[in-house]
Chains A and B, each alone.
Chain A
Amino acid sequence: GAVVSQHPSRVICKSGTSVKIECRSLDFQATTMFWYRQFPKQSLMLMATSNEGSKATYEQGVEKDKFLINHASLTLSTLTVTSAHPEDSSFYICSARDRREQYFGPGTRLTVT
């Protein structure tokens, strides 16, 4: 099956710094990529949808200036958490869609101290 990778798998950063998370579709070209966030004991919540070469569409309540998404190619999307705060600590999961299905990455555990 199709493989989606994320890097890093876990990151610890200090409050006020920025963190970049990469999402790559390894063996297919993704027409659309999605970013989800998951807090402990909760389900996945969609943050934003991005299409290659165009601006991301953010879900209600997600600050676009705080969570910067760049979808530079059909195989790479990045999420940058700017000026991170402890409340941004969460499990971030990317997903990539080809023409048929949606595939998920392994997730990135972000801890902001």
Chain B
Amino acid sequence: DAKTTQPPSMDCAEGRAANLPCNHSTISGNEYVYWYRQIHSQGPQYIIHGLKNNETNEMASLIITEDRKSSTLILPHATLRDTAVYYCIVNPAGSARQLTFGSGTQLTVLP
């Protein structure tokens, strides 16, 4: 029970913004939205997380809807190295509970 829904795949042109959607309609009030990505044959890499405010770091921006039932990860200028599977996960921050991965979105950045 991953509690999130993501499209299985997306393409994006190199240099353009990649917008990856995630539905989490059953999210609880204390659960954060986390985004990780996994480049082929590597371990998952943390990208960003947020509760209800939009967040931005050096890698990406996270836009969370006001009702918190969905979010969008934005890679502002996608490069070929951003090709990976992107996972959206909901989990209470600081919880001892393990992160549960769904099937994610395979993002392919095209030259």
> Which residues of A are interface residues toward B (Cβ below 8 A)?
1, 4, 6, 31-32, 34, 36, 43-46, 49, 91, 93, 95, 97, 99-107, 109
Q: Is the CB of A107 within 8 A of B98?
A: no
Majority secondary structure, A binding face = strand
Q: How far is the CB of B94 from chain A (nearest CB, A)?
A: 6
Chain B residue with the shortest CB-CB distance to A48: B98
> Cβ of B28 < 8 Å from any Cβ of A?
no
Q: How far is the CB of A76 from chain B (nearest CB, A)?
A: 17
Q: Is the CB of B93 within 8 A of A107?
A: no
> Which residues of B are interface residues toward A (Cβ below 8 A)?
36, 38, 41-46, 87, 93-94, 96, 98-104
What chain B residues lie within 8 Å of A36 (beta carbons)? Answer: 101
**Pairs A–B under 8 Å by Cβ, sample size 22:** A1-B46, A4-B43, A31-B96, A32-B98, A36-B101, A43-B87, A43-B101, A43-B102, A43-B103, A43-B104, A44-B38, A44-B44, A46-B98, A93-B43, A93-B44, A95-B99, A97-B98, A104-B36, A106-B42, A106-B43, A107-B41, A107-B42
What chain B residues lie within 8 Å of A43 (beta carbons)? Answer: 87, 101-104
Q: Is the CB of A49 within 8 A of B46?
A: no
Bound-state Cα–Cα, A101 to B104, Å: 20
Bound-state Cα–Cα, A46 to B2, Å: 12
What chain B residues lie within 8 Å of A49 (beta carbons)? Answer: 98
What chain B residues lie within 8 Å of A103 (beta carbons)? Answer: 46
Q: Is the CB of A100 within 8 A of B93?
A: yes
